[in-house]
Amino acid sequence: MEDLDTQILSLLARDGRMSYTDIGKATGLSTSAAQQRVRRLEQRGVITGYRAIIDPAALGKLLTAFISVTTSDPLEDTDLPPRLAELPEVTACYSVAGRASYVVIAQVETPADLERVLTEIRVRGHANTETQLVLSVPFADRPLV
């Protein structure tokens, strides 16, 4: 990947709404050249989308939990993610190596909500869970470039 593309990715990772004009100014490109570069990065699948980042606390979701899920039947592993996706509190699901089969992230309002979600995960996956609660987030979603 060219240095210019890496620079553009770094700019967009920090501000996905940056204008082509501002990208051009920051990289020394014309507005149309910056637009062409971004479009090529999108077409190549390097940039896969843009999104709003929402503060869970603003929605009352004050508790974030990392939940390690270990299924009792390895054959059920592949069936679990679609069942977990049905739970609106589960915001991410990662297939992992190690003792657990998956690590999921859940955003909830109260400890009672977390208990309900954990029960649902255990029932849907015939699984055991181990939960860590997030106390603070020094940083997250750091750009790769």
Averaged over 61-80, what is the pLDDT? 86
* pLDDT (0 to 100) of residue 73: 73
Question: How does residue 75 score in pLDDT terms, banded at 50, 70 and 90?
Answer: low
- Please state, in angstroms and rounded to a whole number, the distance separating the CA atoms of residues 28 and 123: 56
Find the length of the chain.
145
For the cut 70, the answer to whether the pLDDT of residue 76 exceeds it is no
Domain boundaries, the chain: 3-44, 56-134
pLDDT score of 1 more than 80: no
User: Mean pLDDT across the stretch 2-27?
Assistant: 94
CA end-to-end span of the chain, whole Å?
A: 12
Average pLDDT over every residue of 59-79: 86
Residue 101 pLDDT more than 80?
yes
Topology adopted by domain 56-134: Alpha-Beta Plaits (3.30.70)
Query: Considering the domain 3-44 in this protein, what is its CATH number?
Result: 1.10.10.10
Residue 89 has pLDDT above 70, yes or no: yes
Among the listed ranges 38-42, 50-54, 65-69, 133-137, which one has the minimum average pLDDT value?
50-54
How far is 3 from 18, CA to CA, in rounded Å? Answer: 19
Residue type (1 letter), 4: L
What global pTM score does this model have?
0.80
DSSP conformation class of 30: -
